[in-house]
Amino acid sequence: MSTRARRLLAVATASIASTLLAGCAVGPNFARPTAPATPRLTPAAPATADARTALPGGGAQHWVAGMDIAADWWTRFGSSALDALVAESLRNNPNVQAAQASLRAAREDVSAQRGAFWPQVSADLNTARQKTAPVLSPALNSGASPYSLQTVQVLVSYPLDVFGGNRRQVESLAAQAESARFQLESARTALAANVVQGVVQAASMHDQLAALQRNVALQQEQLAIMRKQAALGDIAQAAVIAQEAALAQAQAQVPALQKQLAQQNDALAALVGRLPADAPIPAFTLADLHLPDEIPLQLPAQLVEQRPDVRAAEAQMHAASAQVGVAIANRLPQITLTASDGSSATRFADLFASKTGFFGVAADIAQPLFQGGALLHKQRAAQANLDAARAQYRATVIAAFQNVADSMQALQLDAEGLRTSALAETRTREGLDIARAQLQIGDVSYLSVLVAEQQYQQAVGSRAQAQANRFADTAALFLALGGGWWNDGAAAAAPKHPSAQP
């Protein structure tokens, strides 16, 4: 490059730097929305939830104000097999892997857009064979025509970001990357909660199946007794037939519940990234799980900070705000500086020889004058998108508060539900034992026993589901409060507010 060209480029670069330092970015400057002013998440302060039963999941749960949530909150359920399933799902679930790839792509888009802050430099080598028309002056001093022309040059182009259009574009892409980051955290926390709740449902089905199989065995025993009684003439054959029908109905419920359990295990296999034919999901019972006795009670401001879906919606609003600035900048003058330096000769060997060099420096200012209103309408569309993002953010916050309130109220009512279900199971079992004993000595009819058996079977199913509700709703609360992603080492190390500067 010639000395003169270098000086001109140095002056242009200094001019660019001073312009960038003095320049401003048009459009609104994003400000994070404030948390709702409400002092609590439910209408009334929650009380201790205690089912007052020795059954699994029947203990007391105490609310702890300001309690933090561990990133591996599921370990509080006290099952190493459950911990292994959650860890496997976080490694192998394809939806999480897709979210991780989307985050990487979003961050690369930010880096790519940052490249527009720097000069765009390219090298060009051109070989041409051409002939000058005889009526024109010869292109070469020798007058030779046709001739070959070899040209090599370096081209530098620098668009000045005077009004901050590129800065706003980088800001928008950085916010989208932040949104992708929180979408990943949301996917991870939801996946962990889904695995926990899936295990709880499988354990509940396993316990219900065991109770149903015990009931079938008791009915088979009862049928054998009734057949002996019928042979002795103590009861009518109609009673035996009725018992056979009741036994068949109970036996028919077994494969139906086994099917549900098998499908639940298939669903768990899919969550952990396995095919159904891969290693089987271990069998869980409710007795394998421990109900966390301390549960966090958070403030509304903490919830807004901790919920990854709320943070993702905030980042989307930030991206939409920056796009308004991009649309405004596109309506303003676009300034570009260019420079070139090179050599041209008729032979390769003569390139860079004396008197073959050339250079050029240029400045271009382009102001859109008339484009059919396209740029104005794009700006209005960007503003409308920002309004939509604000509304979507508010909807996400409302849904987050609803999730937490639902989970908190559910936990208190679940305790009462388990207490009454356990009491109902105990009383119906006592009634069934009494009815069977009375039937053997002829004090009651077989119909009384059938009614008692039906009541007991319904009570067993209700109790197992009430147990599962406490476990599942506890997992739902941890999910609703954000899932502790901020205590994960990798998440904590990630930048929370990406800069838009080069």
Concatenating the DSSP letter of every residue in 32-100 gives PPPPP--S-SSSS----EE---SSTT-SEEEEEET----TTGGGGG--HHHHHHHHHHHHH-HHHHHHH
Interior CA angle at 170 toward 165 and 171, to 5°? 95
CB 346 within 8 A of CB 150: yes
Residue 139 lies in a domain: no
pLDDT at 442: 77
Tell me the per-residue pLDDT of 57-111, one tens digit each, with 9 for 90 and over.
Answer: 888 899 998 899 999 999 999 999 999 999 999 999 999 999 999 999 999 999 9
* Cα→Cα distances 476→34, 186, 470, Å: 25, 13, 10
As a residue count, the chain comes to 502
Instruction: Tell me, yes or no, whether 128 lies in a domain.
Output: no
Range of the domain at 52: 32-113+161-332+367-493
Number of domains in the chain: 1
Q: Please state the φ and ψ torsions of residue 426, each to the nearest 5 degrees.
A: -60, -45
> In this predicted structure, what is the pLDDT of residue 16?
52
Pairwise pLDDT comparison (23 vs 47), residue with the higher score: 47
The CA distance from 174 to 24, in Å, is 19
Contact criterion met (CB below 8 Å) for 373 and 18: no
Asked if pLDDT for residue 395 goes beyond 50, the answer is yes
Q: How far is C-alpha 247 from the geometric centre of its chain's CA atoms?
A: 48
For the chain, the helix, strand and coil percentages under 3-state DSSP, each to the nearest 5 = 60, 10, 25
**Residue 56 binned pLDDT confidence (cut-offs 50, 70, 90):** confident
Quick check: 470 and 295 in contact, CB under 8 A? no
Q: What is the pTM of this model?
A: 0.84
pLDDT at residue 203 greater than cutoff 90: yes
pLDDT at residue 456 above 90? no
What is the rounded average pLDDT of the residues 373-389?
A: 95
Is residue 427 domain-resident? Answer: yes
pLDDT of 350-378, one tens digit each?
788 888 888 889 988 989 988 889 999 99
Task: Establish if 230 belongs to a structural domain.
Answer: yes
Could you give the C-alpha distances from 361 to 8, 150, 162, 344, 351, in angstroms and in order? 7, 21, 19, 17, 21
Positive/negative CA dihedral, 234, 240, 246, 251: positive
Which CATH number does the domain housing residue 81 bear? 1.20.1600.10
Considering the domain boundaries, does residue 3 fall inside one?
Answer: no
71 within some domain: yes
Q: How far apart are the first and last CA of the chain?
A: 27
150 part of a folded domain: no
Residue 200 has pLDDT above 70, yes or no: yes
